[in-house]
Structure 1
Amino acid sequence: MPMMMWCLLHPVAAVKLLKPLNEKAYCASIAVVPILLKEKLDHLLTQQSEDSQTHPVIQQDDTTFKVNIEEETVMQTRHLFSAFEVHFASLYIFILSCPKKLKKTLQFFQRSVLNIQDKEKVSTSVCALLQTLSQY
């Protein structure tokens, strides 16, 4: 089984195994989901802060990742996964709306990684990806 697929299927084990060994491979598993769901990675990870964002955004500088909400930096780290954790959690903590351009990606992580089930209808492409991953 390819390492990327294994990371998606076993995120907790991936944290323990890959983070100290190969952080690039671990972070790639975050970056590949939007691509697989035909969403743009730049809606999650940006090079510059966009004005009037009502949802969290991860801004990448030269050596750090910042999680910004409404132009305020709520966290700064050198690790993409830590920034993603805060990004995702802030949607629930602050009861923010899910950005429409990342809806499928966030739905995937909500259902597969965090095992949060709600009454919202799941996108067919998310269901198809989950089905494909369940075969490995």
Structure 2
Amino acid sequence: MSLSLSADVVPKPQLIIAEDDPDDQMLMKDALVQNGVREKDVRFASDGQELLSLLACSVQNPAIILLDLNMPRKDGRQTLREIKGTESYKHIPVIVFTTSSSDEDILLTYQQGGNTFFTKPSTFDELVDIFALIKKYWIETAVLTR
């Protein structure tokens, strides 16, 4: 028996972004919308603690997490370690998206199971371009578990 679902029935990937700066949140949302990502498919957490609470309260895990490293309360380094150390979350792709470009942060990200590391760009156009790459690969091309 074959099951055929229309595009309207298949759930779109949900993206959770851990970012403490409200201005950066707004720019990221705008760049995602410019790339055709619906606002309702994006959730923001202001720090790692809030991100982990969102994950714990969600019925379904997000398809992707974008994670800033430098946040208050629980930073991205601690949060990445907890996500990748939790059986029910460790399969979720985590894209580190931060102002850091230090070799130490890049190495630590990959050692702790991060899937991709991006340094935040300096212009909005560059942000739109990076999100186009993220969307093309992680949303349209990669096969993700749910």
TM-score (norm 2): 0.28
TM-score (norm 1): 0.29
| Structure showing the higher helix proportion among its residues | 1
